[in-house]
Amino acid sequence: MSRKAGRNRIRKALAVVLFLPLVTLSLVPLTLCPSAVGAETWPGVDETVVEKFAAERGREAHDPLINTDQGDLLLFVFLLAGTIGGFAAGYYWRMLLEGKTKVTESAKIKKR
């Protein structure tokens, strides 16, 4: 192993050793103060703004057409969306990151 490769391994290990405790310690205040993340202290926009204006105009809330609060339907929807997005990103990987398209590659082959 060359000296440069050894230095890179040391730098990577040092970065991990410094970064991991930093992330872990940054989460400690959230565990010590549960009222900061409690739902009762931070109402959402739906409760504070949208429901207030809807009630003023006589449009009370009703049940949604597809209720995702029951069971694992919401998890399944996110899984499906992630699978479709991952497939699309994988299919267009070269175009997304390298800016290459199939047309430019085939044009290069024809020019030779």
Alpha helices in the chain (DSSP H): 3-26, 28-32, 45, 51-56, 73-91, 93-97, 102-111
Determine the Cα angle at 68 with ends 64 and 70, to 5°: 110
- What is the residue-level pLDDT of the chain in tens, covering all 112 positions? 677 777 777 777 777 777 777 777 777 766 666 665 555 666 777 777 888 888 888 888 778 787 877 788 889 989 999 999 999 988 888 787 777 666 655 556 666 6
Question: Measured between alpha carbons, how far is 101 from 98 in angstroms, rounded to an integer?
Answer: 9
Q: pTM, whole model, 2 decimals?
A: 0.39
Tokens of 47: 């409760």
Q: What pLDDT score does 78 carry?
A: 92
Question: Measured between alpha carbons, how far is 52 from 55 in angstroms, rounded to an integer?
Answer: 5
Q: What pLDDT score does 103 carry?
A: 60
Alpha carbon 14 to its chain centroid, in Å, reads: 27
